[in-house]
């Protein structure tokens, strides 16, 4: 469960959130939508501890996020940031890097499992061996979604996962995320189809 409790966040003396509260139950799929700059990404960054609210708390599974709990909380999270480029040479290298982290080593994800997830997202097998620069923005987003799903974390934070996708691929990603049954998903989107397909949407303005 994720709780935003009476958050007050301001940048350069301009308040972004005043007394913002929201509870997301285990397994819920919630999407934030609203105009750019309204603070959607800021909310995800609060859960990740990258932004600290001036007042209020973020509580994850009953644990208040602070200096001593941040690492425990981050270990429960799979995070897919807004479209960005990582300096890895190949898809293989990118996938392997994240599974080499101590927190993920126990997973022992096999090559077959990776290919299954790729195929569920409409990605071909050959993609795994390709250079990252050879991938389109949409392919890169789907690779990242596959990684987030395979990480087997309780909470998944996704920022604009369909911004570079065509309608057909968007539909594939929507059903893929909805099938993450036990995971709590907090997503951000401007895509009407994506917003409408979620159980719960919260407008941030």
Chain contacts with other proteins (rule: CB under 8 A): 48-50, 52, 67-68, 70-71, 74-79, 81, 84-87, 97-98, 101-104, 151, 153, 157
* Helix, coil or strand: residue 16: strand
**18 membership: H or E segment, kind and range:** strand 14-24
Residue 157 or 177 with smaller CB distance to other proteins: 157
Name residue, tokens 């932004």. 51
Residue 123 or 148 with smaller CB distance to other proteins: 148
Residue 10 or 203 with smaller CB distance to other proteins: 10
Residue 95 or 197 with smaller CB distance to other proteins: 95
As measured in angstroms, the least distance from the Cβ of 158 to other proteins is: 12
As measured in angstroms, the least distance from the Cβ of 75 to other proteins is: 4
Residue 101 CB-half CA count within 13 A: 11
- Tell me how far apart the terminal alpha carbons of the chain are, to the nearest angstrom: 24
Residue 144 or 165 with smaller CB distance to other proteins: 144
As measured in angstroms, the least distance from the Cβ of 184 to other proteins is: 16
Q: Please state, in angstroms and rounded to a whole number, the distance separating the CA atoms of residues 134 and 176.
A: 24
Q: Are 43 and 4 in contact (CB under 8 A)?
A: yes
As measured in angstroms, the least distance from the Cβ of 112 to other proteins is: 22
How far, in whole angstroms, is CA 204 from its chain's centroid?
A: 17
As measured in angstroms, the least distance from the Cβ of 7 to other proteins is: 16
As measured in angstroms, the least distance from the Cβ of 52 to other proteins is: 7
**Which ranges of 35-156 would DSSP assign to H, the alpha helix?**
40-48, 70-74, 91-99, 111-120, 137-150
Q: Are 197 and 29 in contact (CB under 8 A)?
A: no
Residue 101 or 116 with smaller CB distance to other proteins: 101
Name residue, tokens 């989107």. 189
Phi and psi at residue 204, to the nearest 5°? -110, 120
Q: Please state, in angstroms and rounded to a whole number, the distance separating the CA atoms of residues 186 and 180.
A: 12
């Amino acid at each position: 469960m994720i709780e935003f409790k009476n958050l007050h966040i301001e940048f350069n003396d301009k308040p972004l959130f005043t007394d913002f509260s929201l509870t997301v139950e285990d397994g819920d799929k919630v999407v934030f939508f609203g105009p750019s700059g309204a603070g959607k990404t800021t909310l995800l960054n609060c859960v990740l501890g990258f932004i600290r609210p001036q007042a209020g708390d973020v509580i994850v599974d009953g644990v208040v996020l602070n200096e001593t709990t941040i690492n425990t909380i981050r270990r429960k999270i799979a995070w897919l940031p807004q479209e960005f480029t990582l300096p890895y040479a190949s898809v293989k290298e990118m996938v392997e890097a994240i599974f080499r982290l101590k927190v993920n080593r126990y997973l022992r994800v096999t090559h077959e499992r990776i290919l299954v997830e790729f195929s569920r997202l409409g990605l071909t097998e050959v993609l795994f061996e390709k250079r990252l620069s050879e991938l389109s923005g949409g392919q890169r987003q789907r690779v990242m979604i596959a990684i987030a799903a395979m990480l087997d974390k309780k909470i998944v934070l996704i920022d604009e996962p369909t911004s570079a996708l065509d309608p057909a691929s968007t539909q594939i990603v929507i059903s893929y995320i909805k099938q993450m049954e036990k995971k709590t998903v907090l997503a951000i989107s401007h895509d009407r189809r994506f917003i409408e397909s979620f159980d719960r949407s919260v407008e941030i303005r």
